[in-house]
Amino acid sequence: MSALLSVKDLAISFGDNHVLKSLNLEVAEGEVLGVIGPNGAGKTVMLNILTGILSPSRGEVLFKGEDILHLTVPQRCKKGIGRTFQVPRPFENMTVLENIMVGNAFGDHKTQNEAIDKSTELAEQIGLADKLLTFAGDLGLLDRKRLEIGRALASNPDLLLFDEVAGGLTVSEVDLIIELVEMVKQRGIGVIWIEHVLKTMHEGTDRVLLMAEGRDVICGHPHDVMRSKECHDVYLGADEE
């Protein structure tokens, strides 16, 4: 499979703090790449670089073969990169339908009527069909996470970046998120999924990348990475201490 996204030697520093030192990864169409690592490994900073919030000091980011580092956040969205945030950020005084419509109207260039139809269909797919007219600020955590995914999907992305969309959920709720990610994958959308809930990495990804100290340490089949000495030394073992 050819790479949908290719990242080479990515680095960024904040003063003397070298958050990313040399990060390398690839994601194919319809592939779910899980990303794990200790706090401070640079995982969310990586997403912020990929979406254009931050600019790296060094490195290459190719999306569909094109260098995108010079593009703005809106331009990258229109190219086909969507994301969620660790803490859901809906427009709380807008309904579920209106929140999803924002993604349709902006990222996917839909007219208002097209956006209403598409957003209604998408709300059903993410499990929010019965809450279309509910204000986002009144949603519980699971539904806020669903809406976060729905808004990202509404922009018609080729690549989705998930930042701990399963965090804080119960085991049964996590299973629902895994099902949603599988739906995304079946659409041929590539996914980079940062998560600390290891069940998601075992059951919902094709490969897992371990990050530590701003570098890619090991990448491969989820079970192989989880059982590796590297994972125990820098992540799982460190959490147990």
Asked whether residue 160 is assigned to any structural domain, the reply reads: yes
Q: Report pLDDT for 240.
A: 42
Instruction: Please report how many Cα atoms fall inside a 13 Å half-sphere around the Cα of residue 111, on the Cβ side.
Output: 2
Distances (CA, A) of 188 to 19, 157, 160, 182: 31, 10, 11, 10
| CATH code of residue 76 | 3.40.50.300
Q: Which two tokens stand for residue 9?
A: 């030697």
- Mean pLDDT of the residues in the chain: 93
Residue 22 included in any domain: yes
Note the pLDDT of residue 218: 97
Residue 238 falls inside a structural domain? no
> What is each CA distance from 145 to 2, 136, 141, 151, in whole angstroms?
30, 11, 6, 10
| Enclosing H/E stretch for 11 | strand 3-14
Residue 1 clears pLDDT 60, i.e. is over it: no
Q: What is the mean pLDDT of residues 9-35?
A: 96
How far apart, in whole angstroms, are the C-alpha atoms of residue 220 and residue 202?
Answer: 12
Q: What pLDDT digit, counting tens, does each position of 29-75 carry?
A: 999 999 999 999 999 999 999 999 999 999 999 999 999 999 999 99
Distance CA 79, CA 70 (A): 13
Distance CA 59, CA 188 (A): 27
In the DSSP assignment, the letter for residue 135 is B
Residue 8: both structure tokens together: 């080479």
Q: How far is CA 22 from CA 10, 103, 195, in A?
A: 5, 33, 21
- Over residues 125-151, the mean pLDDT reads 95
Q: Label residues 43-65 b or e (16+ Cβ within 10 Å = b).
A: bbbbbbbbbbebebeebebbbbe
| 122 vs 237, higher pLDDT | 122
In a domain, 39, yes or no: no
Question: What is the per-residue pLDDT across 68-88, written as a single tens digit (0 to 9) for each?
Answer: 999 999 999 999 999 999 888
Q: Give the separation between CA 70 and CA 31, rounded to whole angstroms.
A: 25
The per-residue pLDDT for 109 is 61
- 178 lies in some domain: yes
**Mean pLDDT on 126-141:** 96
Q: Is the pTM for the entire model greater than 0.85? A: yes
Residue 26 lies in a domain: yes
Residue 209 lies in a domain: no
Question: How many Å is the Cα radius of gyration of the chain?
Answer: 18
Domain extent for 113: 3-34+56-195
Is 233 inside a domain boundary?
A: no
Distances (CA, A) of 15 to 73, 91, 194: 24, 34, 25
* Distance in angstroms (rounded) separating the CA atoms of residues 179 and 42: 27
Secondary structure of 44-102 in the HEC alphabet? Answer: HHHHHHHHCCCCCCEEEEEECCEECCCCCHHHHHHHCEEECCCCCCCCCCCEHHHHHHH
How many structural domains does the chain have? 1
